[in-house]
Amino acid sequence: MAITPNDDPEDRRVAIAELILRLRRSGIMDKHVLGAIESVPRDVFVPPESQDHSYSERALAIDCGQTISAPVIVGMMTLALDLSDRDRVLEIGTGSGYQTAILARLCRWVYTIERFRTLVLAAESRFQTLRLANVTTLVDDGTKGWPEEAPFDKIIVTAAAEEVPEALLKQVRLGGIVVLPVGPQDGVQKLMRLTRTVDGFLEKSLADVRFVPLIPGKAAQL
Ligand code: SAH
């Protein structure tokens, strides 16, 4: 459906209602997760040229050659984190800030790291527009995690690594959860959920996905 939600609040309401229905059909039933997604207007995070597709079930291009994930993937990753309102969450790959905003609705605090300054600045202004006051951003290489703020209750990575970054595994508490895509840069990756136990990590593969790559190092220019 082609819509321009910025132009008409009623169009936006209908588009969000349809999105919630699609999420339910794909098995995302948790009322807190659905409520959070319902409360975050995706069009605010989508560039002007893609506004008509703000609520479509697809990933969309954003600045710096990156993408905003498709809604069902965002729903699936959010659900897999099993968030509580006491959780402190580390997110790697702020991108547009859409996933960040949904996390912020469900947990105590989100620490989010992005390697492109341009994207962080744009995301921060969206958080202000939506009055999200429980997000701290950082322009840096997220593969190192955020040792000063660790341990985290939950960690989410929204870019794909060939191997799980060791530093992140060290920064999640016992009983905590890490959700991330793992696999080759130019192929299908596995969305994984890792739960920290006394003996290591309990692994569960959730879905086949395609994410942009997790690239070590801060971006030079942007
Ligand atoms: N969750 C985002 C999706 C962003 S795409 C959204 O909802 O819009 C993945 C993001 O990860 C990109 O913006 C990319 O620049 C970032 N990224 C890739 N490697 C990174 C790294 N090492 N550290 C921090 N961010 C990284």
Counting from 1 in the atom list of ligand 1, the atom nearest the Cα of 62 is: 8
Q: In what order do the strands lie in the sheet with 200-209?
A: 135-139, 109-114, 88-92, 152-157, 172-182, 189-197, 200-209
Burial of 167 (0-12, 13-18, 19+ CB in 10 A): middle
Question: d(Cα 133, Cα 143) in Å, to the nearest integer?
Answer: 25
The response to whether residue 118 sits with its C-beta less than 6 Å from ligand 1 reads no
| Catalytic choice (54, 56, 69, 96) | 69
> Which residues, given as ranges, of the chain have pLDDT below 50?
1-2
Which two structure tokens, joined as six digits, stand for 128? 């202000």
Q: Please give the distance, rounded to the nearest whole angstrom, from the Cα atom of residue 99 to the centre of ligand 1.
A: 11
pLDDT of residue 2: 46
Counting from 1 in the atom list of ligand 1, the atom nearest the Cα of 123 is: 8
pLDDT of residue 9: 86
With the most atoms of ligand 1 within 8 angstroms of its CB, the residue from 103, 114, 119 to mutate is: 114
Residue nearest to atom 16 of ligand 1 (CA): 93
Catalytic-residue membership of 26: no
pLDDT of residue 221: 65
The response to whether residue 42 sits with its C-beta less than 6 Å from ligand 1 reads no
pLDDT of residue 1: 44
Q: Please give the distance, rounded to the nearest whole angstrom, from the Cα atom of residue 91 to the centre of ligand 1.
A: 9
Counting from 1 in the atom list of ligand 1, the atom nearest the Cα of 113 is: 24
